[in-house]
Structure 1
Amino acid sequence: MSRKPSFANLRDRTPAPAATPAPAPVPAAPVAADAKGPASRQGRKQIAGFFTPDMSLAMHMLARRQDRSLQALMAEAFNDVLRKYGESPIGD
């Protein structure tokens, strides 16, 4: 049965050059304690849903044709639903 090679013969070799040290990590910019995202999202909450690809395409195309954002169309739709059920529309 053969023996495992000995690592003793590695001692006689010249050492390989040391690897270059990794650069020091750059500290992240300080973030304000109350900032949790862009200013345009302050005081707002996300409402999300999952729709079929056809619905997504139709809404994106309508938004493009109307030169409005998808968010603006969704706000209009939500306000219409609120009116339908006797609630006051909220606005944007």
Structure 2
Amino acid sequence: MNKRPNLAAVAAAAGSTRRRDPEPAPPPTLEARELAIPRTRVGTKQIAAHFPEDVAWQLRALAVERKTTVQNLMAEALNDLFAKHGKPEVAPWSGRAGCPDGRGGATRRAASVEHDAPSSRRRRDAPPRPAL
């Protein structure tokens, strides 16, 4: 019986135009990994827990009703828990959605009072601004 020829050797000898497998990419450097992290997540740590599905739906519904995010609701709840146990309230939350500045809710709520005050720049017949 004849032995089959080695196809790889035949292709190499014939000068195959087939592309070779690309060299594996070097592992990402620390700098490349840092660039992959969104700026809003730098210096943070995820905290997770498992609850029944109804809890998740109720939490989302509450966020929609209050026009905020689940993230802000969780921060508010954690700060309430910390205060209950005499710990500093360190979880940053904005008190409203879309405020990634990381300042506490008290700072944001106090600033929103200024927006409710009458302004000489606003027209007298302009509708009142919505509460934040």
Determine if the TM-score, normalized by the shorter chain, exceeds 0.5.
yes
3-state SS of the aligned residue for 1:61?
A: helix
3-state SS of the aligned residue for 1:32?
A: helix
1:32 is aligned to 2:31: yes
Partner in structure 2 of residue 14 of structure 1: none
Partner in structure 1 of residue 47 of structure 2: 47
Superposition TM-score, scaled by structure 2 size: 0.48
Give the aligned residue type for 2:77: A
**2:75–2:91: 8 Å Cα contact kept in structure 1?**
yes
Alpha-carbon distance in structure 2 between the residues aligned to 1:60 and 1:22: 51
- CA shift, 1:64, in A, is 1.2
Partner in structure 2 of residue 3 of structure 1: none
* Higher alpha-carbon Rg: 1
Alpha-carbon distance in structure 2 between the residues aligned to 1:47 and 1:55: 16
Identity score, percent:
29
- The gaps in structure 1 that reach 5 residues or longer are 1-5, 12-17
Give the aligned residue type for 2:38: P
RMSD between aligned residues: 3.3
Given the superposition, is the C-alpha separation of residues 61 and 24 from structure 1 closer, same or farther in structure 2, using an over 3 Å criterion? same
CA offsets, 1:9-51, max 9 Å, x none? Answer: x99xxxxxx8x647858x6998725616111110111111001
Alpha-carbon distance in structure 1 between the residues aligned to 2:20 and 2:57: 47
- CA shift, 1:88, in A, is 1.4
Q: 4+ residue stretches of structure 1 with deviation over 3 A?
A: 20-25, 27-31
Give the aligned residue type for 2:49: G
Aligned length: 83
Partner in structure 2 of residue 77 of structure 1: 77
- The gaps in structure 2 that reach 5 residues or longer are 6-15, 93-132
Superposition TM-score, scaled by structure 1 size: 0.65
